[in-house]
Amino acid sequence: MARTRQDYDDIPGTFVFDAERSREGYGINMFCMSLMKDENRKAFKANEAEYLKKFKLTPEQTEAILKRDYNRMLELGGNIYFTAKLGATDGHSFQHLAAVMTGSTQPDYAAMMLAGGRSVEGNRSKSGKDKVVKPKSKPVSKSKPKPKSKSSAKRK
């Protein structure tokens, strides 16, 4: 089933964990949750593919987990706070996972963070529809004393 398009799908490099993904990714997230117990971590490490059979996962989801494809897990309904438990089971820090997801190395990623992080400039929108912060003030009619920002108008 194709995913319903959402306004936030326009944000680049981002998989928003919404109600639809929460349903699709139930198996991924509950698998990750199971890793909070040491005996489960050991069972998983002993035979990963076998352990995953205990959860309702699609073949794509199983593959993403086995390959540690963290972005794909997010796309298929995983949530970062859950998938981080898989990372921890592998002995990886959160920052390591972040580096992996951005296609960077941990030292490079850490250096970027120390230098102030990833800039929002150029990272707001895939389509260029990113006028949320600086809405163009349209020509104002005389009855309107103040130009309403696009964002506040949208909420109505």
Partner 1 sequence: MAKIVAGVGSSHVPAIGAALDNGKTEEPYWKRVFSGFEKSKQWMAETKPDVAIVIYNDHASAFSVDLIPTFALGCAAEFPPADEGWGPRPVPVVKGHPKLAAHIATSVILDEFDLTIVNKMEVDHGLTVPMNLLFGQPKDAWPCPVIPLAVNVVMYPPPTGHRCYMLGKAIRKAVESYKEDLKVVIFGTGGLSHQISGPRAGLINSKWDKSFLDNLSKDPKKLTRIPHLEYMREAGAEGIEMVMWLIMRGALEDKVDEVYRFYTVPASNTAVGHIILENRRIARHKGVEERPSSRAMAGRKRPVAAGKSRHKQAAARKPSQRRVSKGKR
In the complex, which residues of this chain contact partner 1 (CB under 8 A)?
7-8, 11-19, 22, 25-26, 29-30, 32-33, 35-36, 71, 74, 79-82, 85, 88-89, 94-95, 98, 101-103, 109, 112-114, 116-120, 123-125, 130, 132-133, 151-152, 154-155
Enter the tokens of residue 60. Answer: 């794509």
In whole angstroms, the minimum distance from the beta carbon of 94 to partner 1 comes to 7
Of the pair 142, 155, the CB lying nearest partner 1 is at: 155
Helix axes 38-46, 80-89, angle to 10 degrees: 70
Helix axes 26-34, 80-89, angle to 10 degrees: 40
In whole angstroms, the minimum distance from the beta carbon of 33 to partner 1 comes to 5
Which residue carries 């089971």 as its tokens?
89
In whole angstroms, the minimum distance from the beta carbon of 15 to partner 1 comes to 5
Of the pair 22, 137, the CB lying nearest partner 1 is at: 22
Radius of gyration of the chain from Cα atoms? Answer: 20
**Cα angle value 59/23/52 (rounded, 5°):** 35
Q: How far apart are CA 63 and CA 19, in angstroms?
A: 23
Q: Got the DSSP string for 40-56? A: HHHHHHH-HHHHHTTS-
In whole angstroms, the minimum distance from the beta carbon of 2 to partner 1 comes to 18
In whole angstroms, the minimum distance from the beta carbon of 132 to partner 1 comes to 5
Of the pair 1, 114, the CB lying nearest partner 1 is at: 114
Of the pair 19, 142, the CB lying nearest partner 1 is at: 19
